[in-house]
Amino acid sequence: MASIQQTIVFPTTDLTATTTGATVTVVPRSKRIIGRLIVTVPSANVTVAAVIQHSADNVTWFTYLSFTTTGAGATANQIVYPTNDAVLPYVRAVMTLGGAITTCTCFVDFFSETYSQ
């Protein structure tokens, strides 16, 4: 039986520089992932390039989901789907800020279906 699960990968945080979020452990049998990025209160020229990375060992990281880089000073509410459905057991978000004045508030999560064996 499948159930829908929300995983907060990067809690709502005020950012002033590029930031790598804390590692979150997820159910390795998660499928049908839907990633979401929310950017609010951006400074006039900040851009945000966000990715969700995953890892089998919490040491070596691979990009799992990439969000479209936001326009200068733009808010965002993006949904993305992975090209590979299976997620490894450790995930984190990396928020890369660009522009002369870089401040904004960001949030990243994903929804998945979890299957029991």
Q: Which domain holds residue 68?
A: 2-115
Q: What is the pLDDT, as a whole number, of residue 1? A: 53
Look up the CATH number of the domain holding residue 102.
2.60.120.660
- 95 — phi, psi (to 5°)? -110, 115
Answer for the pair 98, 1: CB distance below 8 angstroms, yes or no. no
Q: What is the pLDDT of residues 37-54, one digit of tens each?
A: 999 999 999 999 999 999
The whole-angstrom separation of Cα 34 and Cα 113 is 10
Q: What domain count does the chain have?
A: 1
In the chain, the percentage of residues whose pLDDT exceeds 70 is 92
**C-alpha distances out from residue 93 to 2, 19, 44, 100, 117, Å:** 25, 8, 23, 22, 28
pTM: 0.90
Q: What is the pLDDT of residues 40-98, one digit of tens each?
A: 999 999 999 999 999 999 999 999 999 999 999 999 999 999 887 788 899 999 999 99
